[in-house]
Amino acid sequence: MTDSILNERRGAVAWLTLNRPQIHNAFDDALIATLTDALAQADADPAVRAVVLSGNGSCFSAGADLNWMRGMASASEQENREDSLRLARLMRNLQFLSKPTIARVNGAAYGGGVGLVACCDIAIGVDTAKFALSEVKLGLVPAVISPYVIAAIGLREARRLFITGEVFEAATAARIGLLHTVVSVPELDEAIERQLYLLAKAGPQAQREAKRLALRMGGADVAQAERIDQDNAALIARLRVSEEGQHGLSAFLDKRAPAWAGNAVP
């Protein structure tokens, strides 16, 4: 069995790499648990000054794994709620990690992959990367990741992307605030190293407090995030077992268009 997360220490930096390239680094329950644990280890280790999160292969993360989605489609509402809470915990822990975090966006990020990018303090991506919040095409919504995506790109952009589910380019991701920097593929690692150099020049305690200050001034705190996660997990669980959600998931898994797509305006 290949590890779903590669956890490598390079000096004072923890490099966490999603390692399911054959399925575009898609999430399943095992990957979520492993990444949650890896983040907790990095957070608790005083020798770690920063965390870099990336993907192995040509994609950052395609979001939910098909087999995982198939299982959730047939699960109960309560099981779906518990499953969503595990993903919510991962996103919340990444958002509030006490160490600086960098998303090394080496390729496409869809759904939950966009959530991971939004939760990181700094996001640097390649100019060939594409992004989407395409849950509505399945009769669902990006519930669990919504607080972090909205905080990153703003309410106006989120409303559009949430309801269209459209694919957008790296240049758009930078314009709306999802990415801080866009570089060519050969320049990606140099850009990451340059950012790590800047981070290493700051006091670690000051960085922790600066991050907490920014989050607090932006209206984000862990207790509030946990309450929101409870509501959003209940929402996505309800939609997954709804008639429309079941139809949308089934159509997606069967690689056919859902009934409502026939009413699409050209």
* Catalytic residue numbers, as ranges: 135
d(CA 179, CA 117): 8
The CA distance from 210 to 229, in Å, is: 24
> In this structure, how many other beta carbons lie within 10 angstroms of the beta carbon of residue 110?
22
Q: Is the dihedral of CA 116, 56, 20, 254 positive or negative?
A: positive
Residue owning tokens 């098909």: 66
Helices 222-241 and 146-153 pack at an angle, to 10 degrees, of 120
For 170-248, list the strands marked E by DSSP.
181-183
| Contact call for residues 102 and 42 (beta carbons, < 8 A) | no
Q: How many whole angstroms separate alpha carbon 93 and alpha carbon 82?
A: 17
What is the DSSP secondary structure assignment for residue 260, as one 8-state letter? G
Write out the two tokens for 223: 């207790």
